[in-house]
Amino acid sequence: MSPSSKPRSEKPSDLSRIVALVSGIVIAVLVGYLTLEAFRDGSPAVIALEIAAGEGWSEGESAYVPVDVRNSGGRTAAEIEVETRFETPDSEPVVKRTVIDFLAGGERRRFYAVGPVGTRPSARVIGFQEP
Amino acid sequence: MTPGKPRNAGGNGDLDPILRACAGALLGALPLLYTMEMWWYARIVSEPILLGMMAVAGGVVVLSILFGGFRRGRVTHLGIDTLICFGIGIAASAVTLVVVGRIHPGVVPLSAAARMVALEAIPCAIGAALAMTQFRPRDGDTKNIDRRIDRLSQDRQKVLATLVGAVFFAFNVAPTDELRMMTIEAEPEHFPLIVLFSLAVSYIIVFEADFAERPKGYTTGALGRPMTETMVTYLLSLGISYAFLVGFGHVSPETPIPAQIAATVMMGYVTTIGGSAGRVLVAG
């Protein structure tokens, strides 16, 4: 915090000018995009489930079935609870619950439901929060 | 270790300070780039709040450069360095999030990715600014550095340094759930102790630890007395803490007043140390 001697004035180098120019463009694009998003009407979160049985596999007596959870709405959903149910002919159905922390509008997350080989799960959304 | 290459100020076209800013962006913000609460918060924060945070961060970057001295001796070039720091902050944030897989095209939508990059760019930009200005080579030519902040009174310098340091440190704690947990689980008698300990640590860092030689006139002005400076800057740090708690959704006007105070005091310990570090850096 001591007084400094008068500094010499220099022109910025070409590199500094170029980096500053590119930075300015990047900042403008990011801020512009966020501003546009702010004026976009955010529709409520809509959670859709898709069972990608063709991409699953089995190991021993367990079947691993991918389940894609997508928020096709605009707003973010939190604590999305999904129930998967494997119906078995001879015993009680195998029911699992999975919680996904956050899904922004348009975001997709995949989890794997594990059940008996030879069965195909059904899936439903139990509920979610709007943070 | 081999001797470093001879430095030629400006001879490499300013590559060194730009690379230093890149390193500072990562060194300063890497913990936050790896913090899941930051990714979650980016998904739920509204755009106006995010843009407001970026604007505040822009101010902090300008202050950091003013404190440390921009490189060219003309205040008009402050804008160039500010743009560079923020641009590097955005680039460091985006590249890291893509490389570590937090931004995955086709899985994470553009809007969420943009908000994550913008939020993480804030600490990156502040880190870049501090690195560009504070961590110069020790044998570098400092005559060409314009510390415009020196023209301000000691009181104003102390206030601004406290704000910069407190904001930088607050960013490292405010997004985390640990803060909420610590506040809830602490016993009531802990909070007066936190206040006393915050004040003591602040005093020790600035006045006893001998980090930097204090310049002439440091003891002038309304904040000239060490105890006054310690108390006033502590209140400032509490103000920054409260703003961050509101900004990151930890407290709202509906939160009971005792809980608001408790969270502010808990976070105030961090921002007080940050503010003290800021004042030590400026004094240096």
- B202 or B141: whose pLDDT is higher? B202
Q: Is B3 a residue whose pLDDT tops 50?
A: no
Backbone phi, then psi, for B254, in 5-degree steps?
A: -80, -20
Query: Could you tell me if B45 and B111 are in contact, meaning their C-beta atoms sit under 8 angstroms apart?
Result: no
Query: Could you tell me if B53 and B89 are in contact, meaning their C-beta atoms sit under 8 angstroms apart?
Result: no
Residue A52 lies in a domain: yes
Residue B2 lies in a domain: no
Q: Are B131 and B232 contained in the same domain?
A: no
A62 pairs with which residues across the strands?
A59, A116
In order of A24, B251, B274, the CA distances from B168 in angstroms are: 23, 20, 7
Task: Classify residue B221 as left (phi > 0), alpha (psi -120 to 50) or beta.
Answer: left
Q: Is B102 a residue whose pLDDT tops 80?
A: yes
A124 pairs with which residues across the strands?
A83
pLDDT in tens, B213-226: 777 777 777 888 89
Averaged pLDDT, B233-245: 95
Last residue of a domain, one of B150, B183, B210: B150
Residue B84 lies in a domain: yes
Q: Which two tokens stand for residue B86?
A: 């923020």
b or e along B218-229 (b: 16 or more beta carbons within 10 Å of the residue's beta carbon)? Answer: beebebeeeeeb
Q: Residue A40 and residue B175: Cα distance in Å, rounded? A: 26
Picking from A15, A22, A102, the nearest residue to B87 by CB comes out as: A22
Highest mean pLDDT among A29-43, B123-137, B206-220, B225-239: B225-239
Last residue of a domain, one of B126, B150, B174: B150
Instruction: Look at residue B16 in the predicted model and tell me its pLDDT.
Output: 82
Q: Please state the length of chain B.
A: 284
The total number of structural domains in chain A stands at: 2
CA dihedral B254, B38, A84, B107 (to 10 degrees): 130
The total number of structural domains in chain B stands at: 2
pLDDT in tens, B63-83: 888 776 666 556 667 888 899
Chain Cα centroid distance, residue B149: 17
CA distance A118 to chain B (A): 29
Report chain A's mean pLDDT, rounded to a whole number.
Answer: 86
Q: Is A24 a residue whose pLDDT tops 60?
A: yes
Please give the full DSSP string across B164-192, using - where no structure is assigned. Answer: HHHHHHHHHHTT-HHHHHHHHHS-TTHHH
Q: Are A35 and A81 contained in the same domain?
A: no
Q: Are A54 and A68 contained in the same domain?
A: yes
Q: Which position has the token pair 């609870």? A: A81
Averaged pLDDT, B13-23: 84
B208 pLDDT tier (thresholds 50, 70, 90):
confident
The ipTM value here is 0.76
Residue B8 lies in a domain: no
Q: Are B145 and B160 contained in the same domain?
A: no
B-contacting residues in A 74-103 (Cβ below 8 Å): 76, 78, 101-103
Q: Is A77 a residue whose pLDDT tops 80?
A: yes
Residue B5 lies in a domain: no
Chain B contact present for A50, CB below 8 A: no
Instruction: For residue B132, give its domain range.
Output: 15-150
Backbone phi, then psi, for A71, in 5-degree steps?
A: -95, 100
Residue B167 lies in a domain: yes
A3 chain-B contacts, CB cut-off 8 A: 150
Q: Which of A40-49, B2-11, B258-267 has the lowest mean pLDDT?
A: B2-11
Instruction: Look at residue B72 in the predicted model and tell me its pLDDT.
Output: 56
Instruction: For residue A73, give its domain range.
Output: 47-129
Q: Is B139 a residue whose pLDDT tops 60?
A: no
Q: Is A96 a residue whose pLDDT tops 70?
A: yes
Q: Are B277 and B201 contained in the same domain?
A: yes
Chain B contact present for A42, CB below 8 A: no
Chain B contact present for A70, CB below 8 A: no
Q: Are A53 and A36 contained in the same domain?
A: no
Instruction: Look at residue B152 in the predicted model and tell me its pLDDT.
Output: 76
Instruction: Look at residue B118 in the predicted model and tell me its pLDDT.
Output: 95
B4 pLDDT tier (thresholds 50, 70, 90):
very low
Q: Residue B107 and residue A104: Cα distance in Å, rounded? A: 10
Instruction: Look at residue B195 in the predicted model and tell me its pLDDT.
Output: 96
Instruction: Look at residue B144 in the predicted model and tell me its pLDDT.
Output: 55
Query: Could you tell me if A106 and A71 are in contact, meaning their C-beta atoms sit under 8 angstroms apart?
Result: yes
Q: Are B167 and B67 contained in the same domain?
A: no
Q: Residue B252 and residue A90: Cα distance in Å, rounded? A: 53
Q: Are A28 and A58 contained in the same domain?
A: no
B175 pLDDT tier (thresholds 50, 70, 90):
confident
Residue A3 lies in a domain: no
Q: Is B11 a residue whose pLDDT tops 60?
A: no
Q: Are A74 and A52 contained in the same domain?
A: yes
CA distance B228 to chain A (A): 19
Q: Are B219 and B252 contained in the same domain?
A: yes
Instruction: Look at residue B138 in the predicted model and tell me its pLDDT.
Output: 53
Q: Residue B87 and residue B123: Cα distance in Å, rounded? A: 12
Q: Are A67 and A111 contained in the same domain?
A: yes
Instruction: Look at residue B6 in the predicted model and tell me its pLDDT.
Output: 45
B99 pLDDT tier (thresholds 50, 70, 90):
very high
Report chain B's mean pLDDT, rounded to a whole number.
Answer: 84
Q: Do A76 and B44 touch (CB under 8 A)?
A: yes
The fraction of chain B above a pLDDT of 70, given in percent, is 85
Interface test with B, best of A8, A18, A23 (most B CBs within 10 A): A23
Handedness of CA B252, B51, B102, A40 (dihedral sign): positive
B155 pLDDT tier (thresholds 50, 70, 90):
confident
Q: Are B165 and B189 contained in the same domain?
A: yes
